[in-house]
Structure formats: C-alpha cells, structure tokens
Amino acid sequence: MHPSADPADLRALESLFAFWRDAGVEAAFADEPVDRTLAPPRPEPAKPLLQAVSPVARNAPDLSSSLIEARRLAAGAQTLEQLEAALSGFDGCPLLYEGAKRPVFMRGSSTPDVVVIGEAPSADDEAQGRPFAGAPGRLLDRMLAAAGLTERALITNTVFWRPPGDRPPSPQEQDVCAPFLERTISLTRPRLLLVVGAASARSVLKKDEGILSLRGRWGEWRAEDGSLALPALPTLHPAFLLRQPLAKKKAWSDLLSLTARLDPLAS
C-alpha cells in the first residue's frame, strides 16, 4: 500500500491481517506480486546445510532428548511449587536459545475447577513473570469475573517461554513443554479446560482447524498415558477480541457454555 494511504485504510488492513492470523492462516503466496508470464530464473545452487543454520539454532539442544528430560522433571514434581522449580531448571526449550529471558508458569487458584490454557507468554508476561499480564490478560480477568470464575481458575500457557516478537509458538516448542502442562493439569485435577487461541487449541485438542471453526465446540484433552481425560472448550484469544471487539459476543457465549457445564443446576 502507498505510504500516503489513508490511516484508516492502514488500520483496516492491519486488522484484516490479524484476523487471518488468528483464524489459522499462517502463510501468504508470496511477499511481492509475481509475473508468471515470464520465464522463471535459473535456480541458485543449494547452500550447504550448515550455512543455512544460525549459530543460535546449532546451540539448541536435541528436541527428542529435551522431551525425555522434560518428562522426567515433570513426573518428579509432586506439587506446583516443585513443578515451577523443575521448569526453572529445564534448559531444553528452543525458545531459551532465541532470546527468552525466564519461564512464565501460572497464576490463579491451585485447586481450580477450570484451567485456562493460552498460547505463549508475551513481553508483558515475561517482564512481570506471570501469564496474561498485559491488556489481553486484563480483558481475560474481566471475562472470568463476569462468569464468576475468578477464584475457580488457574491460568497458564502451552509454552512457558516467550517466542521472539510475540509470535505464536511452534508445534515443536509446544511438544517439548507439554509434559509440564500435563503435570500442571494432573496435579490440580480441574473439571474442565478452557483453551484460548488457535495455537493452543491445535496443540491441546490435536486438531488442524482454525479457531473460528473450533471455538464453542467441546472437545477432549487426554494425558499422554491415557490416565486422565477432561472436556476442553476452545475459544477466541483475548488479544484477538481486542482487535475484533464484535467477536466478544462469541467469546461470552463460550463462557456461558463453560459455566453451564460446570454448574448445570445454576443455569
């Protein structure tokens, strides 16, 4: 778009791109227009693999070994405090080698009826050491309060370190953090899970659909060993709701579905 374009048009375009991202669109066809009537350029010789890998990536640990270690540390924790200490001593998440400064674990009730699972810590979360610490978190807190869930919810994420640029976490990053999330659920034994955002819904529910398709539809989370299964409800991320205020009605409908399942006699 031309630099002199109307600021309102720029804001509308930015909102549209954000909508596509949160709906699960993760790639464009190309960064620039392509005239496909021209003969394609001759491909350049492939570069050796080591030249294409940054020094940071080369220093990152092997993911299979890291997953084994994550499972060992998580299984050894008998309390949330021990689990947080184990998380602080874990160095196998790739995000630690991409600029993440410290783990961001959880906040809220240690005996929850609901575990709220977001995607990843933001810059505000990392600075304050608690999940959902910025504007999206304040909106989430208001939503939970309106639904009567403030004292009944534990809030966490699928990964515990901040991705660079606050991008969504990758499936590999989520996989290596999954033992700590699973242990959090196993230790607290909630009745239900509320899964917010596209990346978290895909990871927790093992689905490939976008969040606009998944939201409001009950699914099931299962522990890796099959020892525990819980109903899980995907909904829109509060950051998305701040950009698309008209979608708040859908998120509120999801919360009503959640509270009706928690307390059927009160609905």
For residues 213-230, give the mean pLDDT: 96
Indicate the domain borders of the chain. 55-266
pLDDT confidence of residue 61: 75
For residues 147-164, give the mean pLDDT: 98
For residues 110-118, give the mean pLDDT: 98
Is residue 190 classed as helix, strand or coil in its secondary structure? coil
The angle formed by the CA atoms of residues 47, 168 and 64, to the nearest 5 degrees, is 60
Radius of gyration for the chain, computed over Cα atoms and rounded to the nearest angstrom: 20
Question: Residue 51 above 80 pLDDT?
Answer: no
Highest mean pLDDT among 14-23, 44-53, 140-149: 140-149
Give 110-161 as a 3 state SS string. Answer: CCCCEEEEECCCCHHHHHHCCCCCCHHHHHHHHHHHHCCCHHHEEEEECCCC
Is residue 81 classed as helix, strand or coil in its secondary structure? helix
> Of 48-57, 79-88, 100-109, which gets the smallest average pLDDT?
48-57
Question: Residue 40 above 80 pLDDT?
Answer: no
The better pLDDT of the pair 188, 40 is held by 188
* Cα separation values, 92 from 33, 86, 189, Å: 40, 12, 26
Question: Residue 107 above 60 pLDDT?
Answer: yes
Under the banding of pLDDT at 50, 70 and 90, the label for residue 264 is confident
For residues 125-134, give the mean pLDDT: 97
pLDDT confidence of residue 47: 46
Is residue 194 classed as helix, strand or coil in its secondary structure? strand
Q: Which tokens in the block code for residue 172? A: 């590999």
Q: Residue 197: which region, alpha, beta or left (left: phi > 0; alpha: psi -120 to 50)? A: left
Question: Residue 29 above 80 pLDDT?
Answer: no
pLDDT confidence of residue 178: 98
Q: What percent of the chain has pLDDT over 90?
A: 75
Is residue 27 classed as helix, strand or coil in its secondary structure? coil
The bridge status of strand 192-196 relative to strand 114-118 is parallel
The bridge status of strand 114-118 relative to strand 107-108 is unpaired
CATH 3.40.470.10 fits 55-266, yes or no: yes
The angle formed by the CA atoms of residues 133, 135 and 141, to the nearest 5 degrees, is 70
Instruction: Return d(Cα 210, Cα 214) in angstroms, integer.
Output: 6
The per-residue pLDDT of the chain, averaged, comes to 87
pLDDT confidence of residue 10: 60
The better pLDDT of the pair 252, 23 is held by 252
